[in-house]
Amino acid sequence: MSAHVFNRSALGIFAAIVMLTGCGGAGGGGTSASGIPSLPIAAQFHMTFVNSVVYGSTQSSISFHVADAMGNCVKFPDPFSDNQLDYGASTERLIWLVDCGTPGWFTVTFHALDVRLADTTVKWTVAESGLTESIVDQGGLCIQRARGPEIKESITAKTASGCPAH
């Protein structure tokens, strides 16, 4: 299962088992593994990124990093950013929505390392009902969500005709 929403009774049990930092505030950056928040986790999501960037005949590695996740009740139990994802490789990230009574958000910037393509930044909005995405800065990369229950993002090079419709 790629996403899990905790029911309220499970939240109480979960909160009794775990206690650590907190929600919102000065977090951010996506690189600190601050542990399990002190407030209950309303939902957790597993996102898989697949690097399919080919520009011309050149396969490219990519990097990605969280630009901002401050004050929005989104936590990453492990560092989110990745220095390099080789062509054809995939990686999974876990995202927690802390039960702060509001959706959260974070932005991720994708960068091609081996070819000259402009960066693409995506804003993710996180709620108990799921993750939604919107392009903040459309550069040379396309972020295409796979159909179905999995949250699987394929990163490809933008063609002359643009990115495929979602």
Structure tokens given for 166 = 């979602």
What's the rounded Cα separation, in Å, for the pair 153 and 26?
A: 28
What's the rounded Cα separation, in Å, for the pair 97 and 115?
A: 35
| Residue 67 Ramachandran class (φ > 0 left, ψ -120 to 50 alpha, else beta) | alpha
Q: Cβ-count burial of 14 within 10 angstroms (0-12 exposed, 13-18 middle, 19+ buried)?
A: middle
Q: In this structure, are residues 87 and 49 in contact, taking their beta carbons and an 8 Å threshold? A: no
Kindly report the number of other CB atoms within 10 A of residue 91's CB atom. 12
What's the rounded Cα separation, in Å, for the pair 107 and 109?
A: 7
Residue carrying structure tokens 């550069």: 139
pLDDT band of 18, cuts 50, 70, 90: very low
The structural domains of the chain, ordered by start, are 3-157 (2.60.270)
Residue 151 or 117, more confident? 117
Per residue in 46-99, pLDDT (tens digit) is 999 999 999 999 999 999 999 777 666 898 988 899 989 999 999 999 999 988
Q: In this structure, are residues 94 and 84 in contact, taking their beta carbons and an 8 Å threshold? A: no
Per residue in 63-74, pLDDT (tens digit) is 999 977 766 689
User: Is this structure's pTM higher than 0.85?
Assistant: no
Burial 139-151 (b: 16+ CB within 10 A, else e): bbbbbbeeeeeeb
Predicted confidence at residue 132, as pLDDT, reads 87
Residue carrying structure tokens 């959706």: 103
